[in-house]
Structure formats: C-alpha cells, structure tokens
Structure 1
Amino acid sequence: MGMSVTISTAKSDDAENILKLQYLCYQTEAELYGDYSIEPLTQTLETLRAELDGGTVLVARLGDEIVGSVRGAVDDDGTARIGKLIVHPRMQRHGLGGRLLRALEERLADESEAKRYRLATGHRSEIGLRLYRKLGYTQIGTAEHVSRRLSMVTLEKSASVYAASA
C-alpha cells in the first residue's frame, strides 16, 4: 500500500524545502513567459520565512517529503490573498493543487474575517486558470501588464461559501 499525501501547517524549518520546490515548480512558468527573473524564482529564504511568520502557509507531504504548498494572508479589508500554489511536477494532475487551495480557503475562513479570496496567475497559465475557474474563481478587472511578455490575471471568489457551512 502506498503512502497518502497529508496537508498541514508549514513549520519554520520547512522554509528551505518549500523554496527549493518553488524554484522547481516555477521553471515551467519562466519558460512559458521567457522570463527567469519572475519573483518566485528570485525570492529569498529570508522573505519566505517572513511569509511563514506573517500568514498561513500549508504544505502537502508524501511521507517526509514536501510535494506541495500554498500561502495566504487576510488583509484588513477582509481580502484573503492567496499565492504560490505549487505542486511537485511528478504529483501534478492528481487533484493535489485543488486540495491545497480548498484547505487554505477553509483555514482562512476559520481563522479570520475573510470576505473574499483573491489570487493572480499569468495570462498564459492555462492549467492554473482552468483549476481556479473550476473552483469558483472569476476574473476581476483586466490583466495587469507586468512585463513585455507577462500579464497577471486576478481572480476572486466570495468567502461566503465557507461562512454558510460553518
């Protein structure tokens, strides 16, 4: 019998492994946009540790190995900003990204006054866009031009789904 993937809160000593996985996972995005200077590939361990301290970071583990992660924090206005949903390439296309995102939404709904969930992805990131739409996110506004090759699409959904079930 194989091991199952568990989702839990990241610990401070997970930071280095999360950063390594992030670097691996964003290679395809960098290739897609022809830009290896995107923020997920230039983030420092120090700034990742600050995110661990200042928000909610979940990890997916297969045994002791971190195979996925997602981060979120709720602003004063009730907007839960979700970022850097990553899943190890060998674990993709098995529903783990959706499980991580739903777990983070539920956690943020339980721990805060989240009114809405908001995330952003590149305009050519079809797999991510398809996942977010499947989970109820809709595009708000127009795509934000970041560079000559990259525009970010912002998507949002109401947090009332979790409030109603609480």
Structure 2
Amino acid sequence: MNDAPADATRIELLEDAHAGELLTLRRAAFVTEAQQYGDPNIPPLTQTLAELRDDLARDDVVTIGAWEGHRLVGSIRVELEGNRATLGRLAVAPDQQGKGIGTSLLFAILPYLPEQVTEVWAFTGKDSKQNLTMYTKHGFEEQFEDAAGELTYTYLRRVLHEVEARNESHA
C-alpha cells in the first residue's frame, strides 16, 4: 500500500498503455518551444502515435513519467548507446512548469541507466535559456552547437560520478 499523499508526484516507467497521454503531454509542452523558434515541425510535435509506441518498445530507450494522481505531468526519454545516455524530450505540462518536475525527472532517470553509462548528454535549442540554465545548474556543461535546418541545438554533457569523485578526494 502506498502511504504517499494523494497529491505526491510519483515517477515510474512509461509503457505502451501510456502512449496516448504521453503524446498529448509532449505536444502541449513543446508548443511553446515551437513558437519560440517559429517552427511547428519540431520532432516532438510531428511524431505520430505509432512512432511513439515503437519508441517506447525499443530496448535501447528508457522513458519515465511523473504523475500527479492520475495525470501525467512530465516525462523524459533517454536513449542508451554504450557508455553514453542521451536525454531528450524532457517535457513538463505547461501549467506545472517551474515546480521542479523537470529537475526531479533528471535525477530520477539515473537509477534506470545501465552501470556502464559514464556520461549523460542532453540537447536543447540554443535559444532555450530556461532549459540551458536548468541543465548547467545540474552539472551539465555545454560542448558544441549543431544546426538542424533552421534550428540550432546546444549539446551538453555531464560526466557521471565526476562530482562524487571530487568530493571523495577532498574528504
């Protein structure tokens, strides 16, 4: 039995049964981004339900969601490749932004990563100041920019265990 308060946020793996709600959440969350860049065709807005279901079924992708009661209010997708995990599609419902859900998801994904993962990458639009601030605040460092059509992405990296290793050497 779960003793958490009814309004507590719970975070868990998303499955095929959540695909419709996840698609709706992402579209709501990424409309602002699309408006900022004047591009309604960014991938989170053009992905079909069938494509999303295929993505959720992949062995090299982990997607978790944050729930408030029965409502999906946030999600994050991680693609795994060797020692690298790439975060993507971090989405928080527009009316829930600024409450720490995105940050909670950033940290909640870590236990789902295989042991061999030593670095986590993230990318966001280079003009997405709020996203860049959140990532750098939590140990991600800007690495490079890459243009994709009209949009330029900033790629950031966080080396896992680097902070822990520094702290241990000062103990």
Tell whether the structures are fold-level matches, with TM greater than 0.5.
Answer: yes
User: Of residues 78, 81, 106 in structure 2, which corresponds to 1:75?
Assistant: 81
Contact conserved, 2:84 with 2:119, CA < 8 A, in 1?
yes
Q: CA deviation at 1:147?
A: 2.4
Say if 1:162 and 1:71 are closer, same or farther in 2 by CA, change over 3 A. Answer: farther
Structure 1: tracts of 5 or more residues without a match: none
Match of 1:49 in 2: 53
- Indicate if the aligned counterparts of 1:74 and 1:112 stay in contact, CA closer than 8 A: no
What is the alpha-carbon distance in structure 2 between the residues aligned to residue 43 and residue 100 of structure 1?
22
Shift of 1:163: 8.2
In 2 relative to 1, CA 163–16 (structure 1 residues): closer, same or farther, beyond 3 Å?
A: farther
Q: Percent identity of the aligned residues? A: 30
Measured in 1, the distance between the counterparts of 2:133 and 2:164 equals 25
Tell me, what secondary structure is at the counterpart of 1:6? strand
In structure 1, what is the equivalent of residue 146 of structure 2?
A: 144
Q: CA RMSD in A?
A: 1.7
The correspondence of residues 1-166 of structure 1 with structure 2, limited to 5 A, is 3-54=7-58, 55-76=61-82, 78-108=83-113, 111-141=114-144, 143-148=145-150, 150-161=151-162
Runs (4+) of structure 1 exceeding 4 A deviation are: 161-164
Superposed displacement of residue 33, structure 1:
0.3
1:73 CA displacement: 2.3
Could you tell me the TM-score, scaled by structure 1's length? 0.90
Inter-partner Cα distance in structure 2 for 1:60 and 1:117: 20
Equivalent pairs counted in the alignment come to 159
Give the whole-Å Cα distance in 2 for the aligned partners of 1:52 and 1:122: 24
Q: In the TM superposition, what whole-angstrom CA distance separates every residue of 1:13-67 from its partner, at most 9, and x where no partner exists?
A: 0011000110011100000000001111001112211221221110000111100
Larger-Rg structure = 2
Give the Cα separation in 2 of the matches to 1:162 and 1:87.
Answer: 27
Q: Name the TM-score, length of structure 2 as normaliser.
A: 0.87
For 2:118 and 2:52, the matched residues in 1 are separated by: 25
Q: Is the 8 A contact 1:69 1:87 kept in 2?
A: yes
Q: Any conservation in 2 of the 1:139–1:153 contact (CA below 8 Å)?
A: yes
Question: Contact 1:106 / 1:162 at 8 angstroms: preserved in 2?
Answer: no
1:144 partner SS: strand
Name the structure 1 match of 2:168: none
**Relative to structure 1, is the Cα distance of residues 162 and 138 closer, same or farther in structure 2, using a 3 angstrom cutoff?**
closer
CA distance in 2, matches of 1:47, 1:130: 30
Letter of the 1:65 partner, please give it.
Answer: R
